[in-house]
Amino acid sequence: MIPVTIVGGCGQVGLPLGIALATVPDIRVSLLDINEGKVTLVNSGRMPFMERRRLGADPDRAPARF
């Protein structure tokens, strides 16, 4: 197992990154954050933030694929 710790891991960049890395075999992800409220939400299976639709985004356009 390769240990990976994401500092600020419960934020809008760290949490999606951690979720993506957690799907990779042989990687164990830990999230480190000083915001206890966000940590509590993540530990209970809830997102600590809500993505908002980008202004000017075309709702009929397919999202980008990577």
Report yes or no on 61 lying in a domain. Answer: no
- The full DSSP string for 10-52 is TSTTHHHHHHHHHTSTTEEEEEE-S-HHHHHHHHTT--SS---
pTM greater than 0.75: no
User: pLDDT (tens digit, 9 = 90+) per residue, 21-63?
Assistant: 999 999 999 999 999 999 999 999 988 887 766 656 666 665 5
Report yes or no on 16 lying in a domain. Answer: yes
Report yes or no on 51 lying in a domain. Answer: no
Per-chain mean pLDDT for the chain: 85
Report yes or no on 6 lying in a domain. Answer: yes
Report yes or no on 20 lying in a domain. Answer: yes
Number of domains in the chain: 1
Alpha-carbon distance 33 to 42, whole Å?
A: 11
Report yes or no on 43 lying in a domain. Answer: no
Instruction: Tell me which residue range forms the domain holding 7.
Output: 1-26
